[in-house]
Chain A
Amino acid sequence: MSEHAVEIQHLTYRVKRVFALEDLSLKVPTGSIYGFLGPNGSGKTTTIRLILGLLRPESGTITVLGHAIPERAPAALARTGYVPEAPHLDPTLSVAEAIWFHSQFYRTWDGAWAARLLADFELDPKRPFGKLSKGQKGKLMMLLALAQRPELLVLDEPTDGLDPVVRRDMLSALLDYVSQHSATVFISSHLIHELERICDWVGVMDNGRLVADVGMERFKTGMKRLKVCHGPANTDTLPFRVLTRTTVNGNGTEMWLVRDWAPEMAPAVAAAGGELQQVIDLDLEEGFVELLRSFRVPRSEASRV
């Protein structure tokens, strides 16, 4: 088994002059739950569609479960469950018909488990897809993705706009499956706290660029706000990355936003001539927002990004 379920290298994709993914490289470790974060229009859905071979890149390589994409997309898709951002199933088919239709394309389809999920999700098999509520559509899409017994699940904002009960049901089914089959999950979402609970790896997109790609724990513990007095002008020698630095008052106190922080690095600030006054924790959402802010701040305002 490959070390990475998804591997993207130097990917470039443009939509006219409106949007572009530029030199995107990303690796999703096999067996991980990879949270793919980013604001609207940052390129998450485009990246997912490129991973699945629905779009063709201008340059770069994509490998999914060892298969080159888009050339070998059908082989990869046979082992991949996909929940799209908007459910695109035929609205005239009933739930049972949609399940039957979908099952015909997957050799690994588990009919018994599909039936169990149908009961668990309390879906009416006779109801047409077009007449299902948003939550029911989301559940059906999750059922279709899980019942094919995939090695990789690609979920594009699967719980967006759903109520907490439906979200819990869907994530519970997802985690149940992952724990039993050691599948890899690539999930994009706006719901940062939801990802914080389930993901062990996180990637952050902004304006077509991947601005972070780290383990969840490292992301959470490594993103800090430091209150520093008389900080050095040059922070290049420090063992962590200073993303932004802002002056707090006129007596030389600054607030630094840093990445890759560890408590044992505190003496390095003093060694560089500064005085570390306070280390402020950030939760994932704060870290996410600050990270994006740091990448959007004009370079003249940031000492180093």
Chain B
Amino acid sequence: MFRAILFQQWRWTRLIVALSTVAAFAIPLFSVRGSAANLEHKEAASFLGDVQSWGVLYPTLAGALGVLLAITLWTPDHRGRHVYALALPIPRWRLVTYRYLAGLTLLAAPVIGLTLGTLLASGTASLPTGLHAYPLGLSVRFALAAVVAFTLFFSVSSGTARTAGTILGAVAALVVFQVLLSAAGSEANILMPIVNVLLTAPGPFAIFTGRWMLVDV
């Protein structure tokens, strides 16, 4: 059964998986393109700045990959009102678990692509003294970030369209309420505490924040 579900999900998501794998492989290579050897201190700092500016792409790719994969996995079911999947002789919890595991399996391709890209980039670049490459650390972080985004949106997407609408509606209502508060001249900020909880460790999205550096001191 798992093989069948994995095959089906591969058919649905192969374009997303293939493109993100290529991107994950290419980003590290572009981020350290050209030799960084024999750089002066000032130039090394500039080099790190470049690496850091490329670093924004890792969490962006991980988040986009997780979200797109999760939504795509459930889109055919939403179109068919879940009738086919629910009519299969398998407990719902097992079907959802298989689908989740199949999604994680598909996530492995971009993670492997990134790992190979970072290993190749760090292996071929000549780094200035004092700088080090962290290919495996960056790959593990990328994998965890992708899993967090995938898990969150998989949970939302696996429900009915109404459930997803309710969650998104609640978020939109909060934003609108904040805009109205600001327009009315109030200094109250209801969004910031929520954002802080989510983005500050041990918040679930803390992994997306901070510096994503393939090369660092």
Check if B11 sits within 8 Å of A84, measured CB to CB.
Answer: no
Whether A75 is near chain B, meaning CB under 8 Å from some CB there, is yes
Contact with B along A40-57 (1 / 0, CB 8 A): 000000000100111000
Chain B residues positioned under 8 Å from A238 (CB to CB): none
| Partner among A80, A84, A92 whose Cβ is within 8 Å of the Cβ of B83 | A84
The answer on a CB contact under 8 Å between B86 and A54 is: yes
Interface status of B89 (Cβ within 8 A of chain A): yes
A90-B11 in contact given A54-B83, A82-B87, A105-B89 (Cβ < 8 Å):
yes
Give the shortest distance, in Å, between B66 (CB) and chain A (any CB): 22
Tell me, in angstroms, the Cα distance from A201 to B1 when the chains sit together. 37
Binary contact track A62-93/B, C-beta < 8 Å → 1, others 0: 00000000000011011010101010111111
Closest A residue to B1 by CB, please name it: A104
Complex CA distance for A52 and B85, rounded to whole angstroms: 12
- Residue interface bits B173-187, CB-to-A below 8 A is 1, else 0: 000000000000000
Assess whether A113 is interfacial by the CB under 8 Å rule: no
In the complex, whether A19 has a CB less than 8 A from a CB of chain B is: no
Determine the distance from Cα of A54 to Cα of B7 in the docked complex, in whole angstroms: 24
Q: Is the CB–CB distance between A74 and B89 below 8 Å?
A: yes
Cα distance A104–B90 in the bound complex, in angstroms: 11
Pull 7 A–B residue pairs with CB atoms less than 8 Å apart, ordered by A: A54-B87, A80-B89, A88-B80, A89-B84, A90-B11, A101-B7, A104-B4
Smallest CB-CB A-B distances: 10 pairs: A88-B80, A78-B89, A104-B4, A77-B89, A88-B84, A88-B83, A101-B4, A54-B86, A74-B89, A105-B88
**Interfacial residues, chain A to chain B (CB-CB below 8 A):** 49, 52-54, 74-75, 77-78, 80, 82, 84, 86, 88-93, 97, 100-101, 104-106
